[in-house]
């Protein structure tokens, strides 16, 4: 399977042709992500605010990046910043990874590309997480691939570069609800949860996780429409609206929210804490 994917990547098929991506759906070749159907569906959702979707071009470009991180940087415990995971466990050094700060920083990078400004690092972004992102995502490339390659025939301009990076952020922040969740009894929902066939990446397993991922994507779409950064309030809204407290818990949510903005966290502590599990 890996050979097929590599061949397809060399040919550019996966980037050029949406139908090629869909042919991989049944195979679920990526362990450590919502399946590609799910990821490819998020960019076409309606904005949480206006209830309008992105423009046709917006959907197309965000979708180009929908599973790029699974192809270029697979391994959520190796590249946690790109797959909504709580820590870097593989390689040296290992460290806790603040998925809220990483998400905001990824969207700051999108905004920076749009405005040709230098993205700021949010509070709570450790030097490890910053370097975990900056090493692979520069103003000119992602994992060494240039914009011409990444944008696959679409116009290389500030808007499309920004949309692509928003797509990378969308992948990670929706992966969060696949990778960093625990069931109501505190058991980690991993890829062997329930059975080897239906684990963490399956939307129907503890399905409220997927509902939360969809709302998070919709909230991000509202930001994308304004070419603005993501915010800690995005995590509050998910915890307050679609989240079913009897369904699952999100690892280290409260700790990470506190690191990013302690006064905001303190104001909404009750909402964050009910979704949180200390791990
Ligand atoms: Zn992923």
Is position 156 within any domain?
Answer: yes
- Average of per-residue pLDDT across 251-271: 98
Is position 7 within any domain?
Answer: no
CA of 117 to the centre of ligand 1 (A): 28
pLDDT digits (tens, 9 = 90+) for 118-154: 999 999 999 999 999 999 999 999 999 999 999 999 9
CA of 230 to the centre of ligand 1 (A): 19
Residue 17 has pLDDT above 50, yes or no: no
226 close to 53: Cβ distance less than 8 angstroms: no
CA of 217 to the centre of ligand 1 (A): 14
Residue 186 belongs to domain spanning: 31-277
CA of 70 to the centre of ligand 1 (A): 5
Is position 5 within any domain?
Answer: no
pTM (predicted TM-score): 0.87
CA of 247 to the centre of ligand 1 (A): 22
Task: In whole angstroms, give the CA distance from residue 163 to residue 172.
Answer: 14
Is position 60 within any domain?
Answer: yes
pLDDT digits (tens, 9 = 90+) for 39-87: 999 999 999 999 999 999 999 999 999 999 999 999 999 999 999 999 9
* CA-CA-CA-CA torsion sign (161, 164, 165, 166): positive
Is position 22 within any domain?
Answer: no
What's the domain count of the chain? 1
pLDDT for 1: 35
- Average of per-residue pLDDT across 147-174: 98
CA of 248 to the centre of ligand 1 (A): 20
Ion ligand 1: residues, CB < 5 A: 33, 70, 83, 175
CA of 169 to the centre of ligand 1 (A): 11
CA of 52 to the centre of ligand 1 (A): 26
Task: In whole angstroms, give the CA distance from residue 254 to residue 39.
Answer: 26
Is position 9 within any domain?
Answer: no
Closest CA to 87 of 33, 31, 129, 32: 129
CA of 106 to the centre of ligand 1 (A): 15
């Amino acid at each position: 399977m890996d050979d097929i994917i590599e061949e397809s990547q060399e040919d550019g098929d996966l980037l050029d042709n949406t139908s090629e991506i869909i042919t991989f759906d049944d195979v679920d070749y990526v362990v450590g992500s919502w399946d590609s159907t799910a990821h490819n569906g998020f960019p076409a959702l309606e904005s949480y605010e206006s209830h309008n979707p992105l423009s046709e071009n917006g959907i197309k470009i965000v979708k180009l990046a929908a599973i790029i991180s699974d192809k270029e940087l697979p391994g959520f415990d190796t590249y946690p910043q790109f797959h909504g995971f709580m820590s870097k466990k593989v390689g040296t050094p290992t460290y806790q990874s603040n998925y809220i700060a990483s998400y905001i920083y990824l969207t700051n990078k999108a905004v920076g590309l749009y405005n040709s400004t230098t993205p700021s690092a949010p509070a709570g972004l450790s030097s490890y997480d910053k370097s975990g992102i900056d090493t692979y995502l520069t103003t000119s490339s992602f994992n060494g691939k240039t914009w011409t390659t990444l944008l696959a025939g679409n116009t290389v301009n500030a808007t499309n570069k920004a949309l692509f990076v928003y797509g990378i952020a969308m992948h990670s922040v929706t992966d969060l609800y696949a990778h960093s969740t625990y069931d109501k009894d505190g058991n980690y929902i991993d890829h062997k949860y329930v059975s080897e066939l239906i684990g963490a990446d399956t939307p129907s397993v503890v399905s409220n996780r997927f509902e939360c991922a969809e709302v998070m994507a919709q909230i991000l779409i509202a930001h994308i429409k304004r070419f603005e950064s993501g915010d800690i309030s995005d995590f509050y809204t998910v915890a307050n609206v679609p989240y079913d407290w009897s369904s699952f818990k999100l690892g280290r949510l409260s700790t990470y929210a506190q690191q990013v903005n302690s006064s905001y966290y303190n104001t909404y502590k009750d909402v964050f804490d009910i979704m949180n599990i200390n791990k």
